[in-house]
Chain A
Amino acid sequence: MTTATVVTGLGVTAPNGLGTEDFWKATLAGESGLGPVTRFDAGQYPSRIAGEVSDYVAEEHIPSRLMPQTDHMTRLALTAADWALADAGIDPEQMPEFGIGVVTSASGGAVEFGQRELQNLWSKGKEYVSAYQSFAWFYAVNTGQISIRHKLRGPSGVLLTEQAGGIDAIGQARRHVRKGFPAVISGGVDAAICPWGWVPQIASGLMSTVDDPERAYLPFAADASGYVPGEGGAILIVEDERSARERGAGQVYGEIAGYAATLDPAPGSGRPPGLRRAAENALADAGLTPADVDVVFADAAGTPAADRAEAEAITGIFGPHGVPVTAPKTMTGRLLAGGAALDVATALLALRDGVVPPTAHVTEAAPEHRIDLVTGQAREADLRTALVLARGHGGFNAALVVRRAA
């Protein structure tokens, strides 16, 4: 007999808000964090807009001894984890020694750190490469550093499915909780706004080249032209409901009620893409039907073909205009491994407050998509269940169902 798996803490570092409540306030107000790139000179590149976490001063959050061995990405992740633990009111020392694990998502690793060391190696020589390079750039770095900082010795891991990773990490966290571990620190925080993180994304051909921050990333709009990258993400405390009750947790944001992931078939196979199947499997896992879903947080890739595929998946399940759909990531950009985790945090806040945040910048969804996209103002509604969708480059699909705390 498994008890419910719930979320009891959130830590958010997002381009439009540092800290959960700042982020949520900005998101409800439609305040965007997109703007011209400032972290490097992007003038020579076809894409020049990003969602940067602009008011973050690492030294205020990170011990000085950790500064030389951490990338911007890991600092944001450590900060989000600190906030999530504090929000949940968990003192790891009061928990069983092997009781708490860490599972995060990653995409390209700590790219800026890696670029600096590649440059040191190739321009100056191998003796200029940092002794921290062996771990500071790699995909497991956020999980490792969070576990060390808070002395968390439980089952831990790192999952890579590009933008779908945040959901897969939370799904994996739920697996550990169901095996009897009281809590898992989960989610994803990413940052790749440096030239060596930028150029591969340009090579993907999916980035927007529009220079106006309000027009660059318009998922589901008739003039959708690609995505804008961002940095940041969310760390969530995924906890066994009984553990949360017994220790008197301050709040329960909601339940992780259903989860599923799929892989698209090979291009040209003639078989349908896997997003709809992931969503249906997640609903079945939650024991719910489409009629139970009050809002869908879309992946919102921002390219016409990908938007069409997602709209088809949504209308296939819910019917035309059958459910409110939103994509508040238009205010943050797509955060690589951080995006889906932030969407889950946002969905939980929406359930808590009974309000759907808007898809900023998009005036209306293209009629061909036949979806009820929440644009303009936030929309108040009695929300009990949210479905969060995510896709990762290469054919990954993930879906998570979250329910409001009873």
Chain B
Amino acid sequence: MRRVAITGLGVVAPGGVGVKEYWDLLTAGRTATRRISFYDPSPFRSQVAAECDFDPAAAGLSPQEIRRLDRAAQFAVVSTREALADSGLDIAALDPGRVGTSLGSAVGCTTSLEREYVVVSDGGRKWNVDHEYAVPELYRHFVPSSMAAEVGRAAGAEGPAAVVSTGCTSGLDSLGHAVDLIREGTADVMIAGATEAPISPITSACFDAIHATTPRNDTPESACRPFDRTRSGLVLGEGAAILVLEELESARRRGAHIYAEIAGFASRCNAFHMTGLKPDGREMAEAIDVALGEAALAPDSVDYINAHGSGTKMNDRHETGAFKRSLGAHAYETPISSIKSMIGHSLGAIGSLEIAACALAMEHGVLPPTANLHDPDPELDLDYIPLTAREKKTDVVLSVGSGFGGFQSAMVLARPERRTA
């Protein structure tokens, strides 16, 4: 069985561009949530978000790339370049047909689409929107598959490429897809990850309409409170994480730095409701069980869980139920945290950002905390690493995601030697 190693990381996240800034933020327990600055949020129930301070030119994009690419695609291309440099892989020396691309995104180029919609509809006045005002990039924004093509081109990849779009599990599922392609032998290297730039009035409006986002507007920096008694909803975020994945033996042969092995992955559907969750977490637990089984690791080998932890009442109960169901008594001894408390919920991107955080946690022996967790919900009785990062050597890490459409996904990272031992 071919195995899959993570050999490169690239990140654009709230709080900074690049892996170093990202890890500094997470380990400091600092939050990047703030009052929305991209547009006037005052009409909305929820007025906070975790925005990236991203200057595309400073991040290395050319003027033509800046014109051509939606913000989410810009994040993805910048992250791709960082991840490739980090991996030390010389793609030009490989067969480009053996290098694939898998990019997760839940809502695609929604920011550009809304901006252009407003123009062609003249502020929403015209149903028959005006094609004479359409920019040439409009079709690229309309089909977000264009972003996978951009990432592939940025990497020089000519193998299979696709956008994986499964709502808020896209960022885990795109990595799971990439793992499949390497294992089955279709690709030797995958440029894989996810991107999202959803902070836009239409996104605010639709999350407002179902009260999914927090109305805690007076204290934006502590608005996202996973596992806390006072939690009141998610905070929108944005960003991207791209990983270079390689077949393990060839990564070892070239002496690559290996952050971790992606040892197991599974995704299931709850077939219950497009946005609702059953409290028992049964389908997420099934995904966790199968991912651990695929990794051939026992439930009590899990050293850390990176939770979905969106900070909604329902989610945090749901996944706590899933952890207990899958890990049994070990769930009570396993440190768990939600980095969404710091960087918000970047929908389709967050799963890849969380896996990047897991890889860094294994690398540095430090677990990022759950910020803003001052008043634990007595109903949620696991160890959620409140407020401050914790030093701990980890060999096996679990990350989970849950999303609209009923998708439940789980991924297991491990030190490669841990599995062969």
Contact = CB atoms under 8 A, between A and B. Distances in A.
B162 A161 contact: yes
Contact of A262 (B159, B163, B267, B271): B159
Nearest to A168: B162
A395 B147 CA distance: 11
Contacts of B97: 262, 274, 277
Interface string A100-124: 0110001111000001011111111
B160 interface: yes
A150 to B, nearest CB: 8
Contacts of B225: none
B139 A203 contact: yes
Contact of B44 (A126, A153, A196): A126
A106 B44 CA distance: 30
Contact of A140 (B106, B138, B201): B106
A135 B275 contact: yes
A199 interface: yes
Given A144-B406, A148-B273, A263-B101, A133 B144 contact: no
A158 interface: yes
A176 to B, nearest CB: 9
B255 interface: no
A40 to B, nearest CB: 7
Nearest to A151: B271
A141 interface: yes
Interface string B119-150: 01101111111110011111111111110111
B261 interface: no
A202 interface: yes
A315 interface: no
A133 B137 CA distance: 24
A311 interface: no
Interface string B8-22: 000000000000000
Q: Report the interface size class on chain A.
A: 35 or more
B28 interface: no
A341 to B, nearest CB: 15
Given A125-B43, A393-B139, A147 B269 contact: yes
Nearest to A122: B124
Given A108-B143, A135-B405, A159-B163, A264 B206 contact: no
Given A129-B206, A144-B406, A153-B271, A263 B128 contact: no
B54 interface: no
Given A126-B205, A157-B267, A393-B145, A121 B124 contact: yes
A202 B131 CA distance: 7
Contacts of B120: 199
Interface stretch (A41-49, A231-239, A301-309): A41-49
A274 B164 contact: no
Interface string A145-156: 101101111111
Contact of A134 (B125, B126, B212): B212
Interface string B181-225: 000101000000000000001101111111010000000000000
Contact of B145 (A143, A195, A277, A392): A392
Contacts of A133: 202, 205-206, 209
Interface string A39-80: 011001110000000000000000000000100000000000
Contacts of A86: none
Nearest to A169: B162
A41 B140 CA distance: 24
A155 B266 CA distance: 7
A130 interface: yes
Contact of A46 (B114, B131, B165): B131
Nearest to B167: A140
Contact of A135 (B129, B163, B167, B271): B167
Interface centre among B126, B161, B184, B266 (most CB of A within 10 A): B161
A160 interface: yes
A284 to B, nearest CB: 11
Given A107-B145, A263-B101, A396-B145, A139 B165 contact: yes
Q: Is the interface of A mostly helix, strand, loop or mixed?
A: mixed
Contacts of B139: 200-201, 203-204, 393
Contacts of B150: 394
B90 to A, nearest CB: 17
B107 interface: yes
A139 B201 contact: no
A140 to B, nearest CB: 4
Interface string A368-406: 000000000000000000000000111110000000000
Given A157-B177, A196-B117, A138 B165 contact: yes
Given A138-B404, A393-B139, A175 B180 contact: yes
Given A148-B273, A156-B407, A200-B134, A261 B161 contact: yes
A343 interface: no
Given A101-B269, A147-B406, A393 B143 contact: yes
Given A45-B131, A138-B106, A140-B405, A102 B274 contact: no
Interface string A191-232: 000011111111111000000000000000000000000000
A185 to B, nearest CB: 11
A117 to B, nearest CB: 7
Contacts of A69: 274
Given A102-B269, A139-B165, A262-B159, A40 B212 contact: no
B237 interface: no
B194 to A, nearest CB: 13
Nearest to B101: A263
Given A46-B131, A121-B201, A154-B269, A263 B149 contact: yes
Contacts of A44: 128
**Residue with the greatest number of chain B CB neighbours at <10 A, chosen from A40, A123, A138, A141:** A138
A119 B107 contact: no
A46 B131 CA distance: 9
Interface of A: 40-41, 44-46, 69, 98, 101-102, 106-109, 115, 117-126, 129-131, 133-135, 138-141, 143-145, 147-148, 150-162, 165, 168, 172, 175, 195-205, 260-266, 271, 274, 277, 392-396
8 contacts: A130-B206, A139-B144, A159-B164, A160-B162, A162-B143, A162-B145, A197-B142, A200-B142
Q: Considering the complex of A and B, which 8 residue pairs feature the smallest CB-CB distances, nearest first?
A: A122-B124, A144-B405, A123-B124, A200-B142, A394-B149, A204-B139, A139-B165, A160-B163
